[in-house]
Amino acid sequence: MRLGLIGLGNNMLSHVGRLVQMPEVEIVGAVDPVPEMQARFTERYPQLAPVPIFGDHQEMLRSVKPDGVEISTPHALHFQQITDSLAAGVHVLVEKPMVNSVREAEDVIRARDAAGKLVLVSYQRHTQPTFVKIKELIDSGAIGEIEFVQALQNQSWYAGKFRTPELPWRVKKEISGGGQLNDSGSHLVDILLHVTGLEPEVVFATQQSFKLEVDVNSAITVRFTNGAAGNVSIVGQAPGIGGAVWEDVTIYGSKGALYYRMLGQPEFKPKLELRLVGQNEPVDLGELPPGSTPDQNFVDAILGRDTVKSPAECGLRVMQLSEAAWKSAASGQAVAVRALSGATL
CA separation for the pair 165, 179 (Å, rounded): 18
Q: Look at residues 123, 156, 190 and tell me which one is the last residue of a structural domain.
A: 123
Question: Does the residue 31 lie in any domain?
Answer: yes
Give the domain CATH number at 10.
3.40.50.720
- Of the candidates 123, 152, 174, which is a domain's last residue? 123
CA–CA gap between residue 14 and residue 161 (Å, rounded): 21
SS3 10: helix
Does one domain contain both 158 and 104?
A: no
Clarify whether residues 146 and 39 are in a common domain.
no
Give me the pLDDT at residue 325, please: 98
179 and 99 co-located in one domain: no
Asked whether residue 108 falls in the same domain as residue 135, the answer is no
The secondary element (H helix, E strand) that includes residue 86 is helix 78-87
Q: How far apart are the first and last CA of the chain?
A: 31
End of a domain among 107, 123, 139?
123
In this structure, is residue 148 part of a structural domain? Answer: yes
pLDDT tens for 102-147 read: 999 999 999 999 999 999 999 999 999 999 999 999 999 999 999 9
Tell whether 301 is covered by a domain.
Answer: no
Residues 240-260 have a mean pLDDT of: 94
Asked if residue 300 is part of any domain, the answer here is: no
Please indicate, yes or no, whether residues 252 and 318 belong to a single structural domain of this protein. Answer: yes
> Are 143 and 52 contained in the same domain?
no
The number of domains in the chain is 2
Q: Is residue 296 part of a domain?
A: no
SS3 303: coil
β pairing state of 256-263 and 245-253: antiparallel
pLDDT confidence of 166, banded at 50, 70, 90?
A: confident
The model's pTM is 0.95
- Which CATH number covers residue 278? 3.30.360.10
pLDDT at 344 over 60: no
Same domain, 327 and 178: yes
Q: Give a yes or no: residue 299 inside a domain.
A: no
pLDDT computed for residue 160 by the predictor: 86
78 in the same domain as 164: no
- The 10s digit of each residue's pLDDT in 270-324 is 999 999 999 999 999 999 999 999 999 999 999 999 999 999 999 999 999 999 9
Q: How far is CA 162 from CA 175, 178, 224, in A?
A: 18, 17, 37
Do the domain assignments include residue 344? Answer: no
Q: What does the pLDDT read at residue 343?
A: 57
- In the chain, the percentage of residues whose pLDDT exceeds 90 is 92
Beta bridge partners of 208: 217
Residues 169, 260 share a domain = yes
Residue 303 lies in a domain: no
Query: Are 106 and 131 members of one domain?
Result: no
Do 66 and 162 belong to one domain? Answer: no
Grade residue 38 by pLDDT with cuts at 50, 70 and 90. very high
Q: Are residues 89 and 209 in the same domain?
A: no
* Containing structural domain, residue 138: 125-289+311-339
* Confidence band, pLDDT 50/70/90 cuts, at residue 211: very high
